[in-house]
């Protein structure tokens, strides 16, 4: 009989790699992590599965208007230094986060007061003179447990630590997950595109947006109640001197009416509010520095099939990319940009705004539905998911907050 792993985690992205690391921390546990690595060149991305972690920058923060998810974020971010120490390289940069307009949270309590400073409009204009802001916007500056991560490096760190602890990592794509009778016991069988069959006592699906399209849940269960939303970001190229000048720039999260000097862009659907996030200059693999801006709602459509997702990742939308780039430039003043490029990504949204961390049956669990914030939630989601597989939900947060919602129709809410 072939080897039977205690746990098999399907999906080797930002959540799955975290779950694998936590699983290997348990002595005597055999763990398998299945998922494709990132292709080395864009043109070679011919497969069906991509990762939203294929990037150098993701904003992270402890604050949020959902108190439960703020706790998840805090638990994740506070572990970053330890993960860096274990892996031996850096991926987290605590540059802070400037939240403007309705993006402000303004939590009360000593913990909040120690790490969050409220800023009046004049304060923001003085401290961040390169940003174009209207006369009514106010903000708050998070100075602790906030900034950005390199998601590629975080996934690599999680995998390295798990591998050292004995995790078997398989660079392949799962095509089916079934419960089968092996000998006298029921096990989970994971088949891959490469022709492998992996047996495990329990399986966790950490398959992100592809959970909607890959049919990995039992047919009787139905489909996850979530939809896959395309997003577009702009990377504004700046010189090394400009990057050095902006060394103290925090990440920015904006939600408000905007400024008349900004290029006309999309809104949140009300026709009034503009919603975007922005990262300070980050060095990308080509050796150049880019300011990244993502505009929420820039793409007025949903992705309804796996082919849609593949086309979006590979081709994007040139018109949308150009519009987002022009908007991004207009948010700055007195800054020389050397060029820009667009990039496509996807967000998996659930009706609760929280991830699904739940059991489908006693041998199959799920951890997906990042709602665009999996980067700042990932490690605690992975830990909770593994504890759930053990039958030991050890969080003060109720499990009901993360229950899987199912539908009998794929993308039924569209």
What is the full per-residue pLDDT of the chain (414 aa) written as tens digits?
Answer: 678 999 999 999 999 999 999 999 999 999 999 999 887 765 544 566 667 778 899 999 988 889 999 999 999 999 999 999 999 999 999 999 999 988 887 554 444 557 899 999 999 999 999 999 999 999 999 999 999 999 999 999 999 999 999 999 999 999 999 999 877 899 999 999 999 999 999 999 999 888 888 889 998 898 999 888 888 889 999 999 999 999 889 999 999 989 989 987 665 555 578 999 999 999 999 999 999 999 887 776 777 887 888 787 777 778 888 889 999 999 999 999 999 988 878 888 999 999 999 999 999 999 999 998 999 999 999 999 999 999 999 999 999 999 999 987 776 544
Long-range contacts of 110-114 (CB under 8 A, 24+ apart): 112/63, 114/144
* Boundary (domain end) residue, out of 307, 325, 349: 349
Q: Indicate the pTM of the whole model.
A: 0.93
**pLDDT of the residue at 363:** 97
Rounded-to-integer distance, Cα 367 and Cα 205, Å: 6
Which CATH number fits the domain that encloses residue 35? Answer: 3.50.50.60
pLDDT at 64: 84
Are residue 370 and residue 326 in the same domain, yes or no? no
- Residues 239 and 340 occupy one common structural domain: yes
- Looking at the structure, do residues 233 and 319 belong to the same domain, yes or no? yes
The answer to whether 301 and 200 have CB atoms below 8 angstroms apart is: no
Number of separate domains in the chain: 2
pLDDT of residue 108: 43
Q: What angle separates helix 374-390 from helix 16-24, to the nearest 10 degrees? A: 40
Same domain flag for 265 and 340: yes
In a domain, 84, yes or no: no
Which class for 246: exposed (0-12), middle (13-18), buried (19 or more C-beta within 10 A)? middle
Tell whether 260 is covered by a domain: yes
* Parent domain of 22: 4-53+152-226+351-407
- Taking the C-alpha atoms of 205, 167, 148 and 53 in order, what is their torsion angle to the nearest 10 degrees? -50
**Do both 236 and 215 map to the same domain?**
no
**Contact in structure between 13 and 206 (CB atoms under 8 Å):** yes
End-of-domain residue from the set 303, 318, 349: 349
Give me 206's structure tokens.
């950490």
- Residue 282 counted as domain residue: yes
Phi, psi dihedrals of residue 385, rounded to the nearest 5°: -65, -40
Of 302, 334, 349, the domain-final residue: 349
Q: Burial code of 116-130, b = ≥16 C-beta within 10 A, e = fewer?
A: beebeeeebeeebee
The answer to whether 369 and 348 have CB atoms below 8 angstroms apart is: yes
Both 396 and 274 in a single domain?
no
If asked whether residues 188 and 329 sit together in one domain, one would say: no
Residue 394 falls within a domain, yes or no? yes
Residue 90 lies in a domain: no
- Clarify whether residues 240 and 372 are in a common domain: no
What DSSP line would sit under 239-277, residue for residue? -HHHHHHTTTPPEEEEEE---TTSPP---SSSSS-EEEE
Give the 3-state secondary structure of residue 80.
helix
Query: Which has the closest alpha carbon to 381: 14, 94, 65?
Result: 14
**CATH number for 309:** 3.30.9.10
Give a yes or no: residue 69 inside a domain. no
Looking at residue 267, what is its pLDDT?
Answer: 52
User: What gap in Å lies between CA 254 and CA 306, rounded to an integer?
Assistant: 31
Q: Does residue 298 share a domain with residue 199? A: no
- Residue 66 counted as domain residue: no
Q: Are residues 233 and 273 in the same domain?
A: yes
CA distances (Å), origin 35, targets 136, 175, 213, 219? 47, 11, 16, 22
- Answer yes or no: do 101 and 158 share one domain: no
* Residue 86 belongs to some domain of the structure: no
Q: What is the pLDDT of residue 228?
A: 85
Cα(28)–Cα(280) distance, integer angstroms:
43
Cα gap 190→251, rounded to integer Å: 40
Same domain, 231 and 211: no
């Amino acid at each position: 009989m072939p080897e039977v792993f205690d746990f098999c985690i399907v999906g080797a992205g930002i959540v799955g790699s975290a779950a694998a690391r936590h699983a290997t921390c348990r002595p005597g546990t055999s763990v398998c992590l299945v998922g494709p690595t990132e292709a080395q060149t864009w043109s070679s991305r011919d497969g069906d599965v991509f990762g939203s972690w294929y990037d150098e920058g993701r904003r992270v923060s402890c604050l949020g208007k959902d108190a439960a998810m703020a706790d998840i974020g805090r638990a994740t971010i506070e572990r970053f230094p330890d993960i860096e120490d274990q892996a031996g390289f850096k991926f987290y940069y605590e540059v802070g986060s400037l939240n403007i307009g309705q993006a402000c949270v303004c939590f009360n309590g000593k913990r909040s007061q120690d790490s969050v400073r409220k800023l009046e409009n004049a304060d923001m204009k003085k401290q961040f003179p390169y940003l174009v802001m209207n006369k009514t916007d106010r903000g708050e500056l998070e100075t602790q447990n906030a900034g950005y991560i390199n998601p590629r490096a975080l996934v690599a760190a999680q995998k390295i630590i798990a591998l050292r602890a004995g995790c078997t990592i398989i660079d392949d794509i799962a095509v089916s997950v079934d419960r089968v009778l092996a000998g006298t016991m029921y096990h989970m069988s994971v088949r891959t595109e490469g022709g492998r069959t992996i047996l495990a006592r329990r399986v966790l699906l950490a398959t992100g947006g592809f959970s909607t399209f890959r049919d990995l849940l039992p047919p009787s269960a139905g489909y996850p109640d979530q939809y896959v939303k395309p997003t577009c970001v702009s990377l504004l190229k700046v010189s090394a001197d400009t990057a050095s000048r902006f060394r103290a720039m925090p990440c920015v999260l904006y939600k408000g009416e905007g400024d008349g000097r900004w290029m006309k862009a999309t809104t949140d659907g009300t026709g009034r509010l503009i919603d975007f996030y922005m990262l300070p200059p980050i060095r990308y693999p080509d050796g150049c520095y880019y300011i990244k801006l993502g505009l929420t709602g820039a793409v007025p459509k949903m992705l309804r099939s796996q082919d849609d997702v593949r086309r979006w990742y590979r081709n994007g939308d040139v018109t949308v990319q150009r519009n987002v780039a022009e908007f991004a430039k207009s948010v700055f003043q007195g800054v020389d940009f050397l060029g820009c490029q667009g990039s496509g990504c996807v967000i998996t949204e659930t009706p609760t705004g929280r991830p699904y961390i739940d059991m489908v049956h006693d041998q199959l669990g799920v951890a997906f539905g990042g709602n665009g914030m999996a980067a700042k939630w990932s490690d605690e989601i992975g830990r909770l998911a593994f504890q759930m597989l053990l039958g030991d939900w050890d969080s003060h947060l109720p499990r009901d907050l993360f229950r899987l919602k199912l539908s009998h129709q794929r993308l039924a809410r569209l």
